Amino acid sequence: MDFDFAPDTLMLRDMLKRFVQKDVRPLEMKYFTNGRLEPEERDHLRRAIEQMGLWGLTVPEEHGGGVDMVTACLLEIELGKSFVPLEIGEVPQSLYACSGEQISHYLKPALAGERRAILAVREPGRIHPQSWNMQAIPGGNGAQGDYVLNGQKVVETYPQPEDFLVVMARSAQGYSAFLVDADNSQLTCQMSKPGDREFTLQFVNMQVSKHALIGEPDGALQMLASAAPSTRIRLGARYVGIVERLLEMALEHAKDWVVFEAPMSARPAVQRMLAETHAELESARWLVYHAAWLAGLDREDQLRQAAANVRLITGKLLQAAVERVTLVYAGPGPAGGIGPSQFGYSAISPETLEMALEKARAEIATALLDLHPNR
pLDDT tens per residue, range 45-102: 999 999 999 999 988 888 888 899 999 999 999 999 999 989 898 899 899 999 999 9
How large is the average pLDDT for residues 297-304? Answer: 86
Chain-centroid distance, C-alpha 133: 23
Q: Is the pLDDT of residue 317 over 60?
A: yes
CA–CA separation, 184 vs 280, rounded Å?
45
Residue 140: the pLDDT is 62
Q: Can you give the residue ranges of every domain in the chain?
A: 7-91, 100-214, 221-371
Evaluate whether 314 touches 205 at the Cβ level (below 8 Å): no
∠ Cα 144 148 152 (to 5°): 160
CA distance readout (Å), 333 to 250, 329, 349: 10, 6, 18
Residue 250: the pLDDT is 95
Residue 252: the pLDDT is 93
Mean per-residue pLDDT over the chain, rounded = 89
Q: Which residue has the higher pLDDT, 3 or 19?
A: 19
How large is the average pLDDT for residues 208-230? Answer: 91
CA–CA separation, 67 vs 234, rounded Å?
13
CA distance readout (Å), 262 to 31, 202, 267, 272: 34, 53, 9, 17
| Per-residue b or e along 254-278, where b marks 16 or more CB atoms closer than 10 Å to that residue's CB | beeeeeeeeebbeeeebeebbeebe
How large is the average pLDDT for residues 278-292? Answer: 97
Residue 346: the pLDDT is 87
Evaluate whether 116 touches 162 at the Cβ level (below 8 Å): yes
Residue 7: the pLDDT is 94
Residue 109: the pLDDT is 94
Confidence of residue 19 (pLDDT cuts 50, 70, 90): very high
- Which residue in 101, 114, 99 sits closest to 46, CA to CA? 114
∠ Cα 351 354 360 (to 5°): 145
Domain 221-371 = CATH 1.20.140.10: yes
Confidence of residue 199 (pLDDT cuts 50, 70, 90): confident
Residue 5: the pLDDT is 92
CATH number for the region 100-214 comes to 2.40.110.10
Domain 7-91: CATH superfamily, name plus number: Acyl-CoA dehydrogenase/oxidase, N-terminal domain (1.10.540.10)
